[in-house]
Amino acid sequence: MEKEPWSKRKKIIAVVSVIILTLAPISYLLVGSIVYGQIAASDPACGSHDENEPDKFWAHHYNGTRIESFASESYWFNGSQNVTIQVSDEDITLDAWWKKGEDGMPVVILIHGIRSCKRNHEVLIPASMLVDSGYSVLIPTLRDHGDSTRDDGRVDGGITEWKDVVASWNWVNSTHDIPKSEIGVYGGSAGAAIAAWAFHRENGIQAAFIDSSWYDFERLMKEELEFSGLPTFLGGAGVSYGRLFTGVDLTENPPSEAVANVGDRNIFILGNIPDNRIRIHHATDLWNSANASVSSEGFVDGWFSNVVLEEAVNDGPYDHLVTMVVEPDEYKNRLVTFFDTAFMIERS
């Protein structure tokens, strides 16, 4: 008498198991597509920075309001030119600003972060600091951002964008006849990670200033999900979706590999202790690895700042990539001193 009910239960269990086994991967990938879509979304409009120009720009909070405590006008600079840069072997053209510095001075290429462009104060401010010190600067807009070529409409977290940095480096050399050994790179946030990977892939880049980069993407993704109030296990779903459906593995090209390859070159690591977006352990890990890999011919410098920007209306406080606007004088001193040392510039 009991065999029939048990047989039915086994059938039900089997059917339910099949349904679960069928739907679980689909649900996992569906969630992954949402997570990946948020991570990889690009913003050609450049957010609140779309009206900024080198000769008239403003620093903005993330909510779009101006940072009134920062004297943006003091950092405006004239004489920049709009230029375009072709990425080798790809149908991609980069929109950029070029500003010629003093004769005989090196060049620094400044790389913006994700969902940004050349108009962001986060590259215009350090560019101004360098221009004021005689350097030439190039500020490119990366692919899938601003007015540069829309490739696939996604941000790849440095997997492809590092090629834009190397293309910019080659452009400076070929267009302005400046030795490659006198062309450095600078990056902030995701731009720092991208600059770090370019530094790794192109051994000819002699100097890189890295402000608020992550060390590895796995921890960064978990921390971003935690910051957003989402379960951290969803990070794996996002990475899996990217691998399967776009061919992009966001865990590739980690800055951790770049700092393990300093050798006879020069790198500056900056992290902000209160930073809740890219936490300070990323900077300390970068610092430790860089110091372990540098030779006696190269050098590693760094700064662990401890600053917070005041709250904007209904937003903030801010702690990510704010050192340049909270302590601009010290930031300029460290930025210029690093590149002067790397390029052996002697000032009277």
Instruction: Give pLDDT tens digits for 34-84.
Output: 666 666 666 777 878 889 999 999 999 888 889 989 999 999 999 999 999
Q: How many angstroms from the chain centroid is the CA of residue 164?
A: 13
Is 10 among the domain residues? Answer: yes
SS3 8: helix
Is 347 among the domain residues? Answer: no
DSSP labels for 283-311?
HHHHHHHHHHHB-TTSEEEEEEE---BPP
Residues 111 and 237 in one domain: no
Residues 154 and 234 in one domain: no
C-alpha angle 133/188/333, rounded to 5°? 30
> What are 201-211's pLDDT values in tens digits?
999 999 999 99
Residues 273 and 230 in one domain: no
Supply the pTM of this predicted model.
0.88
Q: How many domains does the chain have?
A: 2
More confidently predicted of 242 and 301: 301
Range of the domain at 19: 1-40+225-246
More confidently predicted of 214 and 19: 214
Residues 27 and 50 in one domain: no
Q: Which residue, chain included where needed, has tokens 């590092």?
A: 162
Residues 257 and 322 in one domain: yes
Please give the share of the chain, as a percent, with pLDDT higher than 90.
65
